[in-house]
Amino acid sequence: MRVINPDHRLIAHKLTYLRDERTDSPTFRRLAEELMTLLAYEATREVRVEPFEIRTPVAPTTGIKLSNPKPLVVPILRAGLGMLEGMVRLLPSAEVGFLGMQRDEETLEAVTYANRLPDDLSGRQVYLLDPMLATGGSMADAVRYLAERGADDITCVCLLAAPEGISALEDSVAALDIPVTLVTGSIDERLNEVGYIVPGLGDAGDRLYGVV
């Protein structure tokens, strides 16, 4: 698995305010979208394209357009929704699917409770969004699930990752025969005893949407 942690001051700047406990929900949502757009720039570096001919006002030339099938963006509910706008802003012709995965607070295992995806993902490049790669359980399950349906190139994007989550995801995808990339805004220190990323930013879903 390829791990990309872009070194950019704007990423570190936005992450600082996301981490700050004084940041309110509306500001947190805006920053999460903006950070996602910066990460999307890295994550889509190898998006599949094909050449096509255009004319400028001066001369003919060859440009590129996104190939078919179009990339699929899949936020993992619910916190992944906070990254969706920031992603499709850069990739407006992508299709969007949804995957509901929840952490069992006792076992810390991921459970699938909803999905809305095309049945056949053959030949698809998929961008999987989940802000916090903590134990790596939900992301690893989601990657396996998409690969079983035919996805053949998966890029996971998170705002923050714990080293434990990266190792778990690496171990889990090693058995798959497809390229998997992880793009993360930061690799934090560790997970604490209740599965939170340290220093992290707290519960991303609660900070985006409040406690419901």
Cite the active site residues.
103, 107, 203, 206
- Residue 161 Cβ, how far from ligand URA at the closest point, in Å? 10
Question: Of 73, 182, 200, 208, which one interacts with ligand URA (CB under 6 A)?
Answer: 200
If the CB atoms of residues 93 and 192 are measured against ligand URA, the closer one turns out to be 192
- Residue 200 Cβ, how far from ligand URA at the closest point, in Å? 4
Question: Taking CB under 6 A as the criterion, which residues in 104-133 touch ligand URA?
Answer: 132
Question: Of 73, 91, 204, 208, which one interacts with ligand URA (CB under 6 A)?
Answer: 204
If the CB atoms of residues 150 and 202 are measured against ligand URA, the closer one turns out to be 202
Half-sphere exposure of 60 (CA within 13 A, CB side): 2
- Residue 204 Cβ, how far from ligand URA at the closest point, in Å? 4
Name residue 102's amino acid: Q
Question: Taking CB under 6 A as the criterion, which residues in 40-79 touch ligand URA?
Answer: none
CB 132 within 8 A of CB 160: yes
**Is 209 a residue that touches ligand URA (CB under 6 A)?**
no
CA-based end-to-end distance of the chain: 35
**Is 169 a residue that touches ligand URA (CB under 6 A)?**
no
Give every CB contact of residue 201 below 8 A, 6+ residues apart in sequence.
15, 18, 19, 132, 159, 160, 207
Task: State the pairing for strand pair 190-191/197-198.
Answer: antiparallel
Tell me which residue has tokens 């490049």.
125
**Is 20 a residue that touches ligand URA (CB under 6 A)?**
no
Indicate the SS3 state at residue 49.
strand
**Is 197 a residue that touches ligand URA (CB under 6 A)?**
yes
Give every CB contact of residue 105 below 8 A, 6+ residues apart in sequence.
none
CA distance 107 to 90: 37
| Tokens, residue 135 | 């134990």
**Is 203 a residue that touches ligand URA (CB under 6 A)?**
yes
**Is 134 a residue that touches ligand URA (CB under 6 A)?**
yes
* Chain residues in the site for ligand URA (CB under 6 A): 132, 134, 195-197, 200, 203-205
